[in-house]
Structure formats: structure tokens, C-alpha cells
């Protein structure tokens, strides 16, 4: 036993250190072995979590690479610290002094102390909180939602977004408290935020709460066809502050959520995606209306986007100055085909009315001139 605890002198350049076999085993070898095992277990846990999340290969590789770098850095510093504790060289003391300087708070208020280490740790904390939120959302979408057939896609998306932001907030608050930031100080931040709202953040807050209403009230959902302020398109993304609409011209329009809530909006696919298409056409007063209405119903039945087993209706809408206006009502199975179906119907009306000798009038005015005596100037009498 004395052999294990006996000090042995080792010359390292200008340094002379004394070590014992006991210290080498229990302060260097065993801690280093434990750190290597911990590194392996942490990497295994990361791979297991990524496997459960069914993340994309590109994302998984990026997470594994960053985890490997962070864990290897921690392992290196741990081995360096264990080696320094055994050798007792002055370099280890300098490292401790440097670390103590980094941890020394330069700003304190209440129960919160801010140091250089605190500032450095804030960046990875925000990244970790964001990554945790996305991970929870991915786990729900790939492992939980497929088994919940009673939920539609819109509600799944709302629950997923809520879980993501809730996880982000909880992880962020927890990690900030770990690094020494007193959460009660956040009350001051919210107080300042309340003042800021009065000086220009009203729109930001309004958009945020409007986004919450949209996500949970489901006034619009992903892929809905909407019309708001002459902007028509499909909803391609819903966020807490804004909603992205892809127009018929394939333009992405970002609309603030408060604008959607506070204005009249047409949602063509709110309950179902079927929509009634109305085509109007004018015919001459001498037209056989029964034949014209029959042709319109045939056109509606032949429409490629017509929802089968739905009624096709044709009407005499009005008697106008230049002709009689007829209407054709056809149910289209999907609102996304509304423009194509409308254009196809108009072209087909023109073709079949032309072949059937049904005249489509153009604006005209009839001018009637009554016969009347036009006064003339009397001629002066001839002079003799």
C-alpha cells in the first residue's frame, strides 16, 4: 500500500513533479476512462434520438458532427484537467485562473450575475432551444400523428407548432436559469415590452395573437384557396406573425396575420374544395332560348373538371339592351381548377354557339329618324 501512495519524482524539462501511482490511477486513468465511456454514451444517445425523430440524413449528419465536436472538446478539457491535477504543474493553475476570470461576474442585479461565460453560453442555448422545439415537432409528425386518424392535417399542424414553441420556451427558460440568469428579471423585460408596445410594437403583438387565433381557430389551413384584398392563391405557410400565399402567378405574398383577421376574406375551401362556377353569356333576342340552354347544360356535363353526380343549372338571367343574358352553373370538384374550368367553358360556349348558329350580340344602338318638314329660308322677290 505504501508503494501505491509513495511519491515518485519525474523531471519534465525545467519542471520537477512528484506523483504517486495512487494519484495516477484514481485521478487520471479512471477519470479519463469514465470520460471516454461518457463520450461514447452521449454519442449513442444522440444517434438514438435522431433515429427516433426520423430526421433527414443531411440534418442528422450536421447534428452528429456538431455533437462530436462539442463532446470531443469537453473530453479534451477533461483529460487536460485530470492530467494537470495529477502533475500539479503551474500551467493547470493558470488555466484555473483563466477559467475563474471568465466566470467572474462583471454585472450583477438581484439574483442575476452576468459573466463572459454567461454571454458565451447564451448563443448555444438559443440554438439548443430552437433545435429541441423542431425535434419535438418532428417526433410528433413522424411517430404520433400517423396513428391519430381522427385529426386532420390542419389540426396536426397547429398542435405541432404549439408543441414546438412551447418546448422552445421551456428549454430556453430552464437553460437560462442554469447559467445564472434570474427569471424574475424577465418581469422587467416584459414591462419594457409593454412600454414598447405603446411606441410601435402594436402591429407585432397584433400579428402574434392573430397568428395564434389562425392556428387554433382554423379559419384558414394549409393549401386553402383564399382571396383577401384582391390577392388570390393557395396558403403555403402559416407562421405566428405572417401567412404566405402562393398566387396563381406563382408569386409568394407574405400577408401579416392581423390583416387576415381584420379584413373580409374569401376561403374557397373552408368546408370542402368544391366550388360552383358561373359563366355568363349574352344571346340575340331572336335566339331559340330552349336550344341555347340545352347547349349550355351539355357543355357543363362535358366539362373535364365537373364534379359528377352534381346538378348542372342554366338560367335566363336578364333582358338587357343588346341581348338576353344566360348563365351556366357547374360544380367544379376542386377550387384549384376554377380558372381552367372557367376558361374551358367560355371557349366551348363560343364554339358550340357558332356551330349552332346562335348569335352572340355586341353592343349596338338603333337610330330612328322621323320624317318631318325641314324649314327653308324664303327667297326674296325678284326685282323688275
- Strands (E) across the chain are located at 7-12, 15-20, 107-109, 112-114, 225-228, 231-238, 242-247, 252-256, 265-267, 275-283, 313-319, 324-332
Give the model confidence (pLDDT) of 254-281 as tens digits: 888 888 888 888 888 777 788 888 999 9
Most confident of the following: 33-37, 47-51, 110-114: 33-37
Give the model confidence (pLDDT) of 292-342 as tens digits: 999 999 999 999 999 888 889 999 999 988 889 999 999 998 888 888 999
Give CA–CA dist 282/289, Å, rounded.
11
- pLDDT category of residue 289 using cuts at 50, 70 and 90: very high
pLDDT for res 342: 92
* Mean local confidence (pLDDT), 160-187: 73
**Domains identified in the chain and CATH numbers:** 1-103 (no CATH), 275-355 (3.30.70.100)
Residue 133: count other Cβ atoms within 10 Å of its Cβ: 21
Give the model confidence (pLDDT) of 46-95 as tens digits: 887 777 766 667 777 877 887 888 888 888 877 777 776 666 654 455 55
pLDDT for res 291: 92
pLDDT for res 348: 92
Rounded to the nearest 10°, the torsion over CA 98, 102, 108, 112 is -130
- pLDDT category of residue 127 using cuts at 50, 70 and 90: confident
Mean pLDDT of all residues in the chain? 76
Residue 167: count other Cβ atoms within 10 Å of its Cβ: 19
Higher pLDDT pick, 158 / 361: 361
At residue 384, does pLDDT exceed 60?
no
In the chain, the N- to C-terminal Cα span, in Å, equals 171
At residue 375, does pLDDT exceed 80?
no
The DSSP code sequence of 116-163 is HHHHHHHHHHHHHHHHHHHHHHHHIIIIIGGG-TTS-HHHHHHHHHHH
At residue 190, does pLDDT exceed 60?
no
pLDDT for res 381: 67
Q: Are 332 and 275 in contact (CB under 8 A)?
A: yes
At residue 344, does pLDDT exceed 70?
yes
Lowest mean pLDDT among 9-18, 46-55, 236-245: 9-18
**Closest of 241, 181, 234 to residue 206, by C-alpha:** 241
Higher pLDDT pick, 376 / 171: 171
pLDDT for res 329: 94
- pLDDT category of residue 182 using cuts at 50, 70 and 90: low
Helix, strand, coil percentages (3-state) for the chain, rounded to 5, are 55, 20, 25
What is the model's pTM?
0.48
Amino acid at each position: 500500500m505504501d508503494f501505491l501512495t509513495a511519491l515518485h519524482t519525474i523531471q519534465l524539462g525545467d519542471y520537477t513533479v512528484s506523483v504517486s501511482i495512487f494519484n495516477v490511477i484514481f485521478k487520471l486513468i479512471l477519470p479519463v476512462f469514465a470520460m471516454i465511456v461518457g463520450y461514447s454514451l452521449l454519442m449513442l444517445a444522440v444517434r438514438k434520438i435522431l433515429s427516433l425523430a426520423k430526421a433527414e440524413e443531411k440534418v442528422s449528419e450536421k447534428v452528429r458532427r456538431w455533437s462530436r465536436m462539442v463532446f470531443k472538446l469537453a473530453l479534451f478539457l477533461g483529460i487536460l484537467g485530470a492530467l494537470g491535477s495529477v502533475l500539479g504543474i503551474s500551467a493547470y493553475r493558470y488555466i484555473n485562473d483563466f477559467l475563474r476570470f471568465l466566470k467572474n461576474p462583471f454585472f450583477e442585479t438581484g439574483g442575476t450575475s452576468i459573466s463572459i461565460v454567461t454571454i458565451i453560453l447564451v448563443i448555444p442555448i438559443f440554438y439548443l432551444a430552437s433545435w429541441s422545439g423542431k425535434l419535438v415537432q418532428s417526433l410528433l409528425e413522424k411517430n404520433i400523428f400517423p396513428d391519430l386518424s381522427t385529426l386532420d392535417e390542419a389540426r396536426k399542424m397547429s398542435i405541432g407548432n404549439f408543441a414546438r414553441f412551447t418546448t422552445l420556451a421551456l428549454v430556453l427558460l430552464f437553460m437560462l436559469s442554469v447559467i445564472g440568469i434570474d427569471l424574475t428579471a424577465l418581469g422587467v423585460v416584459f414591462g419594457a415590452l409593454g412600454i414598447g408596445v405603446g411606441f410601435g410594437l402594436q402591429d407585432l403583438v397584433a400579428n402574434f395573437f392573430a397568428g395564434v387565433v389562425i392556428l387554433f381557430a382554423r379559419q384558414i389551413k394549409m393549401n386553402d384557396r383564399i382571396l383577401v384584398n384582391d390577392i388570390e392563391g393557395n396558403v403555403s405557410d402559416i407562421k405566428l406573425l405572417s401567412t404566405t400565399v402562393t398566387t396563381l402567378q406563382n408569386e409568394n405574398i407574405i400577408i401579416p396575420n392581423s390583416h387576415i383577421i381584420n379584413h373580409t376574406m374569401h376561403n374557397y375551401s373552408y368546408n370542402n374544395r368544391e366550388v360552383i362556377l358561373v359563366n355568363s353569356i349574352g344571346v340575340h333576342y331572336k335566339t331559340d332560348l330552349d336550344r341555347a340552354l340545352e347547349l349550355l347544360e351539355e357543355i357543363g356535363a362535358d366539362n373535364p373538371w365537373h364534379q359528377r353526380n352534381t346538378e348542372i343549372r342554366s338560367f335566363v338571367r336578364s333582358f338587357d339592351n343588346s341581348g338576353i343574358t344566360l348563365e351556366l352553373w357547374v360544380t367544379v370538384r376542386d377550387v384549384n381548377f376554377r380558372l381552367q374550368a372557367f376558361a374551358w367553358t367560355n371557349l366551348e360556349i363560343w364554339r358550340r354557339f357558332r356551330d349552332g348558329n346562335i348569335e352572340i350580340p355586341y353592343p349596338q344602338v338603333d337610330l330612328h329618324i322621323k320624317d318631318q318638314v325641314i324649314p327653308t329660308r324664303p327667297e326674296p322677290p325678284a326685282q323688275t
